Amino acid sequence: MASKDAENQRSRGPPGFLPGASDPDHGLHILPSNPGDQVWQRGPPPPGNLPPGLEYLSQLDLIIIHQQVELLGMILGTETANKYEIKNSLGQRIYFAVEESICFNRTFCSTLRSCVLKITDNSGQEVITVNRPLRCNSCWCPCYLQELEIQAPPGSIVGYVAQKWDPFLPKFTIQNANKEDILKIVGPGATCGCFGDVDFEVKTINEKLTIGKISKYWSGFVNDVFTNADNFGIHVPADLDVTVKAAMIGACFLFDFMFFEHSLAGL
């Protein structure tokens, strides 16, 4: 029994380091605080040619995105710029995303508004930029559907998220920097949730194999009706390319705008 406890303790690693770090001197530090408020600090990058700031994504098979509630917007009923915390499976914050858009667009273009989402690490360095132009999302306008441009680092395009026309299901593709399709995301026929999670399946291009999913978690009747705070989970293989994972983070933001922006949409 004692040997088993010792083995478990070794697998957890020393305090102040994320699980999986092989060497405490070269591990991934976390800031000491309450367990629910821990944040990750970048350590030395792993081997390989990864975009700076995305090294930690190479270890993750679950990425959690939590929208922060704007109390002023709730009280006044106005549309405020969205903010999101991006966390690992332990609830430790790894990135923070802020929407940059003008009040006119948020008021009159609503969920179709053009905006830029800037994603920074815990040191405040911008590592991902998501550009969203003003576009349609109706099946009656198949030539001008939704699209996101993903830059990592800012200024270097690594991929796109593009909506594809379909008369029945919401469909999107993850594309590389050359706009070549890599993966497909297929949503449900109804995104209302109906008191449960809403899953968007991540599939191969031919849609024959499902490799993961993006889930909008149902947070309860009271939260969904009286706040705009949405929670998402990205479930993908840990060895998936980090630029594809970055594009899926952008896809979460797009789904939030398109399907869950208003209070009752999450029900």
231-247 burial code (b ≥16 CB/10 A, e <16): bbbbbbeeebbbbbbbb
What pLDDT, in 10s, does the model give residues 214-224? 999 876 544 44
Tokens of residue 258, six digits: 């398109």
Domain annotation covers residue 25: no
Q: Reduce the DSSP state of residue 124 to 3 states and report it.
A: coil
pLDDT for position 109 = 64
pTM: 0.74
Domain annotation covers residue 35: no
Domain annotation covers residue 228: yes
The CA distance from 21 to 50, in Å, is 18
Q: Which of 27-41, 64-78, 146-160, 194-208 has the highest mean pLDDT?
A: 146-160
pLDDT for position 189 = 80
Give the range of the structural domain holding residue 148, as residue numbers without chain letter: 55-261
Contact (CB, 8 A) for 42 and 55 = yes
Domain annotation covers residue 185: yes
Domain annotation covers residue 253: yes
Give the count of domains, the chain. 1
Mean of all residue pLDDT scores within the chain: 76
What pLDDT, in 10s, does the model give residues 164-209? 988 889 999 999 999 999 999 999 887 665 567 899 999 999 999 9
Domain annotation covers residue 12: no
In this structure, what DSSP letter does residue 47 have?
Answer: S
Domain annotation covers residue 28: no
Domain annotation covers residue 43: no
Cβ within 8 Å of residue 64, ≥6 positions away: 86, 87, 88, 89, 91, 231, 232, 233, 234
In 3D space, the residue among 190, 126, 121, 198 whose CA is nearest the CA of residue 155 turns out to be 126
